[in-house]
């Protein structure tokens, strides 16, 4: 057993009596008062030949003296999200819920050099996890740990009432003052095209603690959407540089509306590099911007060409589109661009006429011609 002599003054950095020196500690002089600038994190190493644990000093980390004000991250800060920087939490954070945490100060025990998104995760049951904190590593007496959750994060505070041993532990690292698991869960739901409500039902059925829907939406707005936009911008610049270096740029453009027909409110005009078979630009148009939904396709093409020109694509050899009247009229004013029609759209128009003709009396056999007429290969 360890030394049983009780010291007259307790010290946070030292858990032994002043009369006996343990081999695991490296200090020689006891401070005159309790220090608040350092926290000693102890690691317990079990020995098979003895019932007493061997205490080893592994790290001394600074405690935060105050709680800074959290500021929203911009798109330029998205690259630093992978580094698990740990800071105290504030009420401005989307994961902060006062009724669950009860405190805004956290220790720095989860700082690690490994990016949190590459770490493996395991499903751990609470009762099995608490077995690691119910015994004091200094005096080997029982203690009752206190827990609180912030989304998927579990914070455990272990304090011994016999020897004043105190230790705080977090189940996951932080990424810019946000638990990495909360941010990664929101990213996994969004990037895989899943529904958060269905994922939430699954987690509740499994009794897994997770984030709420409000936190998921805040992570989308503050981090995930800017990250997607930043990644798309970088990829678009790379595709444009490749197309310019290759020369003889051939583009294909078409628009898709949110609803079929001429009652659409939004339209997405997409332009593809036909040589690389990669999407090179996407423009979103609202019908009230141009007067009606029939004019959205022409406006989408104009915006795409202007955007590509600003990014250095000054010459375009050919554009392949459907037979939209507004697009045809606009490209006639661009004699330097060779305008071609997409055979799939032409075949679709001919197929509709064949279907209409096959419904008339005496022309039913014409319907069998559709596949041979409309298929361009």
Per-residue pLDDT of the chain (377 residues; tens, 9 = 90+): 444 444 444 444 444 444 444 444 444 444 444 444 434 343 433 333 333 333 332 333 333 333 333 444 444 444 444 444 444 444 444 444 433 333 333 444 445 578 888 889 999 999 999 999 999 999 999 988 999 999 999 999 999 988 889 999 999 999 888 999 999 999 999 999 999 999 999 999 999 999 999 999 999 999 999 999 999 999 999 999 999 998 889 999 999 988 766 678 899 999 999 999 999 999 999 988 998 888 999 999 999 999 999 998 988 999 999 989 999 999 999 999 999 998 888 888 888 999 999 999 888 888 888 888 887 66
Residues 153 and 263 in one domain: no
Assess whether 190 and 100 both reside in one domain. yes
Which residues span the domain enclosing 296? 247-340
Do residues 85 and 198 both lie within one domain?
Answer: yes
Shared domain check, 34 and 1: yes
57: in domain:
yes
List Cβ neighbours of 86 (8 Å cut-off, separation of 6 or more): 106, 108, 110, 111, 173, 174, 177
Task: Kindly report whether the global pTM for this prediction surpasses the value 0.75.
Answer: no
286 and 331 inside one domain: yes
Q: Are residues 12 and 82 in the same domain?
A: no
Statement to judge: residues 118 and 173 lie in one domain: yes
Residues 185 and 275 in one domain: no
- Residue 242 resides in a domain: no
Residue at 232 is within a domain: no
Number of compact structural domains in the chain:
4
Are 301 and 374 part of one and the same domain? no
Whether 84 and 195 map to the same domain: the answer is yes
Is the same domain home to 312 and 368? no
Q: Are residues 215 and 251 in the same domain?
A: no
Asked if 210 contacts 153 with a C-beta cutoff of 8 angstroms, the reply is no
């Amino acid at each position: 057993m360890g030394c049983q002599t009780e010291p007259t003054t307790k010290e946070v950095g030292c858990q032994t009596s002043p009369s006996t020196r343990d081999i695991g500690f490296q200090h020689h002089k006891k401070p005159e008062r309790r220090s608040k600038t350092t926290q000693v994190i102890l690691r317990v190493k079990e020995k098979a030949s003895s019932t007493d644990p061997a205490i080893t000093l592994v790290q001394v980390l600074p405690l935060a003296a105050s709680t800074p004000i959290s500021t929203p991250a911009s798109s330029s800060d998205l690259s630093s999200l992978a580094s698990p920087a740990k800071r105290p939490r504030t009420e401005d954070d989307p994961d902060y819920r006062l009724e669950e945490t009860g405190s805004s100060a956290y220790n720095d025990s989860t700082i690690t050099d490994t990016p949190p998104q590459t770490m493996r995760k395991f499903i751990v049951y609470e009762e099995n996890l608490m077995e690691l904190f119910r015994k004091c590593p200094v005096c080997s007496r029982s203690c009752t740990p206190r827990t609180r959750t912030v989304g998927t994060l579990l914070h455990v505070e272990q304090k011994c009432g016999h020897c004043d041993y105190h230790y705080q532990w977090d189940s996951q690292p932080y990424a810019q003052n946000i638990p990495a698991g909360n941010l990664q869960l929101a990213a996994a739901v969004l990037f895989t095209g899943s529904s958060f409500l269905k994922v939430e039902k699954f987690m509740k059925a499994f009794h897994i603690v997770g984030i709420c829907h409000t936190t998921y939406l805040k992570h989308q707005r503050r981090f995930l959407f800017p990250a997607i936009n930043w990644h798309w911008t970088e990829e678009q610049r790379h595709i444009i540089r490749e197309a310019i270096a290759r020369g003889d740029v051939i583009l294909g453009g078409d628009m898709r509306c949110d609803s079929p027909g001429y009652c659409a409110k939004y339209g997405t005009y997409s332009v593809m590099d036909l040589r690389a078979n990669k999407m090179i630009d996407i423009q979103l148009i609202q019908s009230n911007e141009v007067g009606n939904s029939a004019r959205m396709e022409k406006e989408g093409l104009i915006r795409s060409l202007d955007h590509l020109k600003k990014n250095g694509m000054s010459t375009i050899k050919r554009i392949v589109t459907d037979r939209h009247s507004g697009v045809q009229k606009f490209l006639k004013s661009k004699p330097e661009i060779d305008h071609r029609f997409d055979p799939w759209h032409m075949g679709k128009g001919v197929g509709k006429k064949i279907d209409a003709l096959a419904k008339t009396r005496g022309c039913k056999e014409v319907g069998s011609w559709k596949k041979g007429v409309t298929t361009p290969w």
